[in-house]
């Protein structure tokens, strides 16, 4: 009996020397997916976000079907529940192409070019833009209609002068005759700006199934 008891004590257990129990395949996949989602949300919220151009208001700089990457950190990242921005590299400057929350409908995002900075006096005269009394020429701007609309009818061709408030920006589309922008609804505030559009990562003309890919647009920096 004593010998048998000793053998029983010395005998290793069935799990001795083995590592921890392996995770199930389902659990491993679930953890990987959760981590990937968290990383994607962090990247989207603080670093870069993808956008698609739905209209022609920025032609010919940006075409319908262009897919863009927008830097969200260059102007600083919003700290939730505060009015502070972290890690700001610089403020928006004249000529930047920005994505912002549409002031008249926060559910929509718009993309335009910054024309007027805080404190600037912006005025339009017969399709020409003046900033602080000086003619301002945007090389990317195009006019696809020759008609001059009177200021009394609408501000497309003649507007202002208006003074850009503090922490606000006057923006316009490059397709000047077919853009709904600050000429009509005034200004974009600093906290409405989502980021700087900087590169086209994909471009397709029409539905995806037609495969009309604009290869020459892919990888182009936005100027």
Catalytic positions = 57, 112
**Phi-psi region at 10: left, alpha or beta (left = phi > 0; alpha = psi -120 to 50):** alpha
**b/e burial code for range 99-138 (CB count within 10 A of at least 16 → b):** bbbeeeeeeebbbbbbbbbbebebbbeebebebeeeebee
Angle in degrees, CA 48, 49, 50, rounded to 5: 135
What are the tokens at 212? Answer: 């009309």
How far apart CA 216 and CA 200 sit, in angstroms, is: 10
The answer to whether residues 72 and 45 touch, using CB atoms and an 8 Å cutoff, is yes
């Amino acid at each position: 009996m004593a010998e048998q008891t000793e053998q029983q004590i010395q005998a290793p257990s069935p799990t001795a020397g083995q590592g921890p129990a392996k995770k199930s395949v389902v659990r491993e996949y679930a953890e990987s997916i959760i981590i990937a989602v968290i990383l994607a949300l962090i990247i989207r919220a603080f670093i870069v976000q993808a956008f698609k151009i739905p209209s022609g208001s920025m032609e010919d700089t940006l075409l319908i079907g262009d897919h863009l990457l927008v830097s969200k950190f260059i102007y600083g990242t919003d700290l939730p529940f505060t009015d502070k921005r972290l890690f700001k590299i610089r403020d928006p400057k004249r000529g930047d192409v920005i994505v912002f929350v549409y002031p008249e409908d926060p559910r929509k995002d718009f993309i335009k070019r910054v024309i007027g900075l805080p404190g600037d006096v912006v005025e339009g005269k017969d399709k020409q833009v003046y900033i602080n009394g000086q003619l301002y020429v945007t090389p990317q701007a195009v006019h696809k209609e020759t008609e001059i609309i009177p200021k009394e009818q609408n501000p497309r061709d003649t507007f202002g002068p208006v003074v850009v408030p503090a922490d606000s920006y006057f923006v316009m589309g490059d397709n000047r005759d077919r853009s709904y922008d600050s000429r009509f609804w005034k200004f974009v505030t600093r906290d409405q700006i989502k980021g700087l559009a900087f590169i086209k990562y994909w471009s397709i003309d029409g539905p995806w199934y037609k495969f009309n890919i604009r290869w020459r647009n892919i990888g182009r920096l936005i100027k």
